[in-house]
Structure 1
Amino acid sequence: MTVSHLSVFTPLKAELPPQTDLNAIIVDLADDHVAAPDGRDQEALAAIAAEAREHGIQLDIVVVQGNPGIEANLRDLANEVGTIEHGTVVVFSDDWVGTYSDQFSRGRLEWAEDKAKYRGPDHTTEAARVFLDRLEQPETVSWTVITLVILGMLIATIGGLYLVKVRRAQRETDVRPPQIPVA
């Protein structure tokens, strides 16, 4: 039996959720930046997308029925839509969320996703509102600033310990009585 280890490094093809027509989604997004089956929550979701755009977030909202086999399919769909539409794309299923953005970091998107998940099929508008609210919140933690402060404290501590060591060594040489050679 021969095993090829090269297949481990081959990226998997993006899988869209079952019964997903990417072209139909792109056409549906054209009028109000919302693509939802059977127009479900269309007006409310369009209002959220419009509000996001007023605040500088180029948001497109896609809703799919049910939950796909795996949650990653929603991110794959968001990526496919995002490469065409650009901006930020959020895809909602009954319980999961997938996102793409060329404006926000993956960490920020996932932070916003976490609160929008598991709302159920009848609460897509609520989930979209939560997602947008989280994106609009100012970042409260600047990891760059925190890292620089910790690094500065570390350098000050090392410098302080070095000064203590130098002073201690000087005191020891000043306190020692002179050595008288014995003949």
Structure 2
Amino acid sequence: MTVSHPSVFTPVKAELPPNTDLNKIIADLADDHVAAPEGRDQEALAAIAAAARDQGVKLDIVVVPGNPGIEANLRDLANEVGKIEHGTVVVFSDDWVGTFSDQFTRGRLERAEDGAKYRGPEHTADAAQVFVDRLQQPEAVSWTVITLVLLGVLIAGIGGLYVVKVRRARDESRPSAPVA
């Protein structure tokens, strides 16, 4: 009797949004770092990509029509474009955003994505500008600094309690003066 085990650890092939031609997107990015269908504000998107590049963010913007079946397809497309173009790739659909970057952390990308989602197809340039602005904002909270401050307060509190305990023990061990 043979037993076959399905391999649950085999990587799944990236699924690109329907009707997506990766070669055409790469070719379209060559001139102005924007690949967008007709009707999307290509000039405004190109200006945003150029401004981002001037500020040190190697940005490519891809726009796909409609929304794919699942939002993860946009990230898959961004990853595929990023393997070729490198830098930071943002893919917009009508309501969703997918990203890739070898320059920024996933957390920072997702924070920038959140502000750019659900803007609609007529506001892709606005969504792209929000994405770039949020991507370039300094981290608002440094969890390392907060952790170190809390750790310092905890150590100071423990040290203070130890000093109080030692003083009480010393005071209790002294003979008390007779009350007259």
Quote the Cα distance in structure 2 between the aligned partners of 1:43 and 1:67.
Answer: 22
SS in 1 for 2:65: coil
Distance 1:22 1:175, change over 3 A: farther
Aligned residue number for residue 11 of structure 1: 11
Deviation at 1:15, TM superposition (A): 1.1
Q: Distance in 2 between matches of 1:77 and 1:99?
A: 8
Between the aligned partners of 2:112 and 2:150, the Cα distance in structure 1 is: 27
C-alpha distance in 1 between matches for 2:167 and 2:10: 60
Structure having the larger proportion of residues in helix: 1
Match of 1:180 in 2: none
- 1:127 Cα offset (Å): 0.5
Structure 1 consecutive aligned stretches of length 4 or more whose deviation exceeds 4 Å: 2-6
Match of 1:112 in 2: 112
Question: Which ranges of structure 2 fall in alignment gaps of 5 or more residues?
Answer: none
Instruction: Trace 1:1-183 onto structure 2 (pairs within 5 A).
Output: 4=5, 7=8, 9-38=9-38, 40-175=40-175
Q: Distance in 2 between matches of 1:173 and 1:54?
A: 73
Greater alpha carbon shift after TM alignment, 35-44 vs 72-81: 35-44
Aligned-partner Cα distance in 1 for 2:6–2:164: 56
Aligned equivalents of 2:24 and 2:30: distance in 1?
A: 10
Normalised to the residue count of structure 2, the TM-score between the two structures is 0.90
Post-superposition Cα deviations, 1:35-73, rounded to whole Å, max 9, x if no partner, equal 111262111100000000010000100000110010011
Alignment length (residue pairs): 175
What's the secondary structure of 2:174's corresponding residue?
A: helix
